[in-house]
Structures are given as structure tokens and as C-alpha cells.
Amino acid sequence: MQASVPIWKMLLGPIAAFVLCFLMTPQVKRFAENVGAIDEPNERRINIHPIPRMGGLAIFFGFVVSSLLVVNMSTTVMGLLLGAVIIAVMGALDDILTLNPWIKLAGQIMAALVAIRCGIVFDVISNPGFLDAGTTINIGWLSVPLTVLWIVLCTNAVNLIDGLDGLAVGVSAISSASMMVVSLLLPYMIDTNVPLLLACLTGACIGFMPYNLNPAKIFMGDVGSQFLGFVLSCVSIMGTFKFHTIITFLVPLMALAVPLFDTIFAIIRRVLRGQSPFQADRGHIHHRLLALGMNQKQVVAVLYGISAVMGIFAVLIAGPGTAVRIVCLVAAFVVSIIVWLFVFRKPVIPQPEAEPAIPEAPPAVAEDGTKLYIPGPDKDEDDGTKVYEIPASKKDGEP
């Protein structure tokens, strides 16, 4: 039997998350400045002046409070929120103190195990309607390590793509909205908490975007990027998705295609170079697009477009009915055209920096009031003669 989601909850949740996050972000910005959580410019970062981070605290606050207002508290929801608290605390400490990567990984695994202990785990693979419906495969003891791997991978994927103004929060909002639509379209909705949690997360992300879009006033920091990845990974294997586990992989894989594939390629790239997978570099997809001559807004628009199209295809896979598929295809086409027009209508061509002009020395004045000609730096050296100019105050015929 399919459960229904109250419309008032679907409206209240994201609106409350948006308002709370929007109002809290300036307070978080001041707090970050007071505790020294500042992103200083360096060879890897795009910002050219110090910008406060830890903005993810506002996203965390907006999501948690709005979820408590509309979500029915269950064991899985408790596990999600407890794990999110662990992730948020570790992320905040990292934004202030810059923790060792292995300590951060241990915190992510701890949060994942808390979620698993509360029932956020997939233990069977089942086929949705477009394949052989009803067939299931029990994965047994592999369920725990695979779930930990999935949560940790998604958590770090959003974290690694957080390199441009508004990029990670926008991609997360698109991914969350895509999975929310999928959860509403699946024929058997057992847990109504899934679309509500995703709606609240979408609202919190949108509430933070006005402060994070280029030029950013505040960054979300690790506390925000890791939190978003953790919540998205956990919700993708809760409730409705748990009974369509193949969709558990397909939908988030497509909705989170940009950060996930960027993370996988980053790990492979670093290992092949003999580097640690945790060693930062400038080989991410947004760095490569910047190197092609795009500006920040164009790169973000391209990656937004890719995420939106992949999210639409995720809805296309899960959405029953011809009408849904037609709408998805039209939407994907429209998004592609909009991104193309934005990026290529007025392409930004990098211009070489102009050399600063060397000012000429002001003319010297002789004792009789006439101006002396002084050769400039690009003129020949003075040969000893003096060139005079008639003062403007003297008239023709005057001595």
C-alpha cells in the first residue's frame, strides 16, 4: 500500500529550511571570523582575498530544525541525524584547526556506522519494474562494508567538488531535488520521511546560495560539504529506495554524477602519480574548465547543467508513464540550451595583463620661469643643450 505525503509538510519543510538557513548565515559568518575559520588565498584556491568558511553550519541548522518540524521521528531518522551531528562537529573542527585526513576519514566511518546501526543499510539487491521485477539477491555480510563505502564516497565527493563559488551547494540542491522527485514517483512509497528529508535539504541549500554564489561572501567549508554528502548518501538508501536497491545506485549515481566521477578520477590520478589520495591538487574538473578560458560563473553553469540533465535522466529511469518520460526529455533539452546560451553567447577570452605605464617626470622650471625639457626614460640621453618653452604668460613680442 502506497503512503501519501501531506502537502502542507512538503511545503513547510523546505520553506522553513530556506528561511532558517538564510537568516542564520550572516550570524555564522561573524562566528567564523571570530574563531579564525578563514579561507586564505593560495596556489590551489580560486579566491583572491580571505573569505570566512563554516557556512555549512547554517545549512545544518536549517535542515535539522525543519526536519524535526515535519518528519516523523523513527530509528532511521535518528541514525541520520546522529551521524549528521558527528559529521558537522568533525567538519567544524577541520575548518578551524585543519585536521589530519585520516582523522576526518575515521569520523566519517564512525558516522556511517551509527547510521548503519540504526537501520540505514542495504542488504538485498532488487530489480525495479523496468527489469525483472521481484528478483532479489541477498548480499549478506557485504552489506555493512558496502554501505560504509557508499556513505564515505558520497561524503568526500561533495567535499572535493567544493572548489568554486556556489558549485557544491548548487549541485547538492539539484541532486536532492532529483531524488525527491524520484521518491515521489516510485510506485511503492513505504517511508514518507524520504521526500520530506530531501525537500528540507533542498530548501536549506537554496537558502545558503545567495551568500555563496560568485562573488561569494562565505564558503560552506568542510562542515557543509561533508554534511551534504553524508545526508544525500544516507537518504538514498532509506525507505523507498531500500526496496529498489538498484535504483539506490542508479539514481544517486546519476544525480551525483559530477562530484562522484570527479572524486573517482581524482583518486586514480593521484595514485598513478604515486601521490596520496588525500593530497590536494588542481586537476579537478572545475580547474580544467577554468584552464580552458571559462570564468567561474560559466564553469558553475556548465556543471549545474550536467547535474540537472543527469538528475532528469534519473527521474526518467524511475518515473512510470510516457508523459513523465516526455517531460523529462523536454526538460533535459531546455536545460542544455540554456546552459549553451549562457556559456557560449559571450565567451570570455583571457586577456594578457597590460604592463603598467611608466609616468614621465614633471618638467623642471628654470629660475626665469621657463620650463626645461627633461628627456623621458624612452628618450635619448640629453646632449647638454637645453630646450626652452615660452611660458604661457608671455605674449608675442615680449622679451
pLDDT in tens, the chain (399 residues): 456 788 999 999 999 999 999 999 999 999 999 998 888 776 656 666 788 999 999 999 999 999 999 999 999 999 999 999 999 999 999 999 888 989 999 999 999 999 999 999 877 665 544 444 455 666 777 889 989 998 998 898 888 888 788 888 998 999 899 888 888 877 666 678 989 999 999 999 999 999 998 888 999 999 999 999 999 999 988 865 655 545 555 666 676 677 777 778 777 877 787 777 767 667 677 767 777 878 888 888 888 888 888 888 877 776 666 777 777 777 777 877 877 777 766 555 544 444 544 555 555 555 555 554 455 444 444 444 444 444 544 445 454
Asked if residues 48 and 41 have their Cβ atoms less than 8 Å apart, the reply is yes
- The whole-number pLDDT of residue 69 equals 94
Q: For residue 347, which of 293, 286, 291 has the smallest C-alpha distance?
A: 293
Task: Give 216's contacts (C-beta < 8 A, 6+ positions apart).
Answer: 47, 51, 165, 166
pLDDT recorded at residue 281 = 67
Q: Say what the pLDDT of residue 351 is.
A: 43
pLDDT at position 399: 47
HEC string of 98-121 equals CCCHHHHHHHHHHHHHHHHHCCCC
Q: Quote the CA–CA distance of 279 and 139 in Å, as a whole number.
A: 33
Distance CA 243, CA 133 (A): 11
Sequence-separated (6 or more) residues with CB below 8 Å from residue 87: 107, 108, 111, 155, 223, 226, 227, 230
Tracing cell 529506495 back to the chain, one arrives at 241
| Domain segments of the chain as ranges | 7-344
pLDDT at 47: 61
Residue 370, Ramachandran bin (φ over 0: left; ψ between -120 and 50: alpha; else beta): beta
Q: How many helices (H) and strands (E) does the chain have?
A: 14, 7
Q: Answer for the pair 172, 304: CB distance below 8 angstroms, yes or no.
A: no
